[in-house]
Amino acid sequence: EDQVTQSPEALRLQEGESSSLNCSYTVSGLRGLFWYRQDPGKGPEFLFTLYSAGEEKEKERLKATLTKKESFLHITAPKPEDSATYLCAVQAAGNTGKLIFGQGTTLQVKP
C-alpha cells in the first residue's frame, strides 16, 4: 500500500536554528514527490517537485532533497515567517494524478 509518513509531527525552533523535516514514503513506482506549505485556514501552497533520487531544489531558506525512500526539507536559518505546516505528498507511477499526503510537520519558529 502506498504510504507517506512525516516526522516530526511538530518542531519548535529558535530563529536562525537550522533543522530538517523528514518525509518517508513507500510507493509502487514514484512519479513525483511534492512539498507544500500550509498556513492556518489556507490552502496548501506549492513549494517543490522532485522526480528522481539525488535531485535537489532550493527556494530561499528551503532546500528539498530526495532519496529512494525519503525526502528531506532542510530549513536554513529560519525566520518566524517560516512558521507553517509543511506537507509532503507522493504521486505514484501511472496517470491517475492522485496525491498521497503525509500528515504534515507543524513548524514554529520563535524570534
Closer CB to another protein, residue 41 or residue 111?
41
Contact criterion met (CB below 8 Å) for 74 and 88: no
For residue 81, which phi and psi values (nearest 5 degrees)? Answer: -70, -10
Burial of 28 (0-12, 13-18, 19+ CB in 10 A): exposed
- The minimum distance between CB 111 and another protein, in angstroms, equals 27
Q: Which one, 15 or 45, has the nearer CB to another protein?
A: 45
Residues that bind another protein (CB under 8 A): 31-32, 34, 36, 41-46, 49, 87, 89, 91, 95-99, 101-104
Q: How far is the CB of 17 from another protein (least distance, A)?
A: 27
Q: Given the DSSP bridges, would you call strands 3-7 and 19-26 parallel, antiparallel or unpaired?
A: antiparallel
CB of 98 to another protein, least distance (A): 6
CB-wise, 36 or 78, nearer to another protein?
A: 36
Whole-angstrom distance, CA of residue 30 vs CA of residue 13: 31
